[in-house]
Amino acid sequence: MTYTKILNDIPDSYFGKTMGRKLEIGSKPLINMAVGIPDKPAPDEVIKAMSAAVQNPENNKYGVFRGKDTFKEAIQKFYHDVYHVTLDKDEEICILYGTKNGLVHLPLCVIEPGDGVLLPDPGYTDYLAGVILAHGEHYTLPLYEEKSYLPDFNDVPADQLSRTKLIYLNYPSNPTGAVATREFFDETVNRFKQTETKIVHDFAYAAFGFDAKNPSILQSPGAKDIAVEIYSLSKGFNMSGFRVGFAVGNKEMIAALNKFQDHTQVGMWGALQDASTAALKLGESFTEVQNDLFRRRRDRVTALLDQHHIPYSPLAGGIFLWLKTPRGYDGESFVDYLLKEQSMLVTPGIPFGERGRNFVRVSLAVDDSILETFLERLIEEKSLY
């Protein structure tokens, strides 16, 4: 296959490359613990709103490029009710066809060629593509379990930090399950508020905080001066197929994203916006039910792993277990072993960065019966540890 030079420089998407591939498995029925697609249906209120919206003739026409007021007002109210953050409807909100679009497009909107971008390691695989598309320089923001997977910016070489114009943060973390504190966000905003460095916080797993409610970075004083937060309806509202999210925060960054999208799409389909409005109106009471479900799953998984002395990183939020590999295995070889011996598919940690080499990522977004089967089969392999 012949690609342009810039596409050649972008690594293949791990999930794009692996989803749907033929797997060589053992004798047991396959269970897939690799993909974080919520296992519960979208809320009834969302389905009803979508059905009605599809039949509305106004939604079959071009809509307002930057979104319906009704949807943006729902975003305003949701952020005010849940995080006590006030947003300007026209200047501090950008509607996204999925949060991945915003995360990948953002460097094209806020950095110049050659500018540095700090990417967490381990961290979400597709951040890098946006940096390459924008001709930026990517630097590693190392995350360590002993530091609760929160970055220490003193671990970054001073010359790289001085050239950094954009920092990616992601809490609750995909893949580690770590969470951030309000204190961490306060300190981070305070550190960079007098610099040219901007921050993007990937808040896709906002709904899932098992020991405490997850803070928004926008709650920190001065955060809107330097940061945007990108929120997803995919996980917390069981709407992964709808592909709806939004960016909120810093006016300049939001304006740049909106301008970019003015030229790359003709607004979001009105029916999707109406369905998403219905979702946000369900509010925190709905996401709390989601959180309770995954907290129970977390408690079940970690109790059993502790009982059988199988090591993993602390799981405080999100929907993934960051499981350590046994002696003699890296993530990829352990994935192959589990497929052949136990017919279980998990995700190797290596695509998430060098610090993921000796981990695999396990999704908890599966039916409880499948989760129990996974645990039974994993415990059969405890002698490897």
Q: Is the pLDDT of residue 61 over 80?
A: yes
* Segment among 63-67, 69-73, 101-105, 213-217 with least mean pLDDT: 63-67
Q: Do residues 104 and 243 share a domain? A: yes
Q: Do residues 327 and 243 share a domain? A: no
Q: Do residues 297 and 270 share a domain? A: no
Q: Are 185 and 220 in contact (CB under 8 A)?
A: yes
Last residue of a domain, one of 283, 301, 326: 283
Q: What is the pLDDT of residues 113-146, one digit of tens each?
A: 999 999 999 999 999 999 999 999 999 999 999 9
pLDDT-derived band at 16, boundaries 50, 70, 90: low
Structural domain harbouring 123:
45-283
Mean pLDDT of all residues belonging to the chain: 94
CATH number at residue 356: 3.90.1150.10
Q: Do residues 316 and 356 share a domain? A: yes
What's the confidence (pLDDT) of residue 220? 98
Last residue of a domain, one of 258, 283, 308: 283
What's the confidence (pLDDT) of residue 17? 56
Q: Is the pLDDT of residue 15 over 70?
A: no
Distance CA 262, CA 250 (A): 18
Please list, in sequence order, all residues whose beta carbon lies within 8 angstroms of the beta carbon of residue 286, skipping any fewer than 6 positions away.
43, 236, 237, 279
- Count of structural domains, the chain: 2
Q: Do residues 372 and 304 share a domain? A: yes
Distance CA 42, CA 29 (A): 27
Q: Is the pLDDT of residue 75 over 90?
A: yes
Tokens of 91: 């200047």
CATH number at residue 78: 3.40.640.10
CA angle 23, 26, 31 (to 5 degrees): 65
Q: Do residues 292 and 250 share a domain? A: no
Distance CA 154, CA 87 (A): 32
What's the confidence (pLDDT) of residue 19? 54
Q: Is the pLDDT of residue 73 over 80?
A: yes
Q: What is the pLDDT of residues 219-249, one digit of tens each?
A: 999 999 999 999 999 999 999 999 999 999 9
Q: What is the pLDDT of residues 252-264, one digit of tens each?
A: 999 999 999 988 8
CA 299 to chain centre: 22
pLDDT-derived band at 8, boundaries 50, 70, 90: confident
Q: Do residues 118 and 253 share a domain? A: yes
Q: What is the pLDDT of residues 38-47, one digit of tens each?
A: 899 999 999 9
pLDDT-derived band at 200, boundaries 50, 70, 90: very high
Q: Do residues 228 and 172 share a domain? A: yes
Distance CA 204, CA 220 (A): 19
Closest by CA position to 72, among listed 254, 199, 284? 254
Distance CA 77, CA 84 (A): 9
Distance CA 139, CA 176 (A): 19
Q: Do residues 98 and 187 share a domain? A: yes
Q: Do residues 248 and 297 share a domain? A: no
Q: Do residues 31 and 176 share a domain? A: no
Q: What is the mean pLDDT of residues 321-337?
A: 96
Q: Do residues 357 and 253 share a domain? A: no
Q: What is the mean pLDDT of residues 68-95?
A: 97
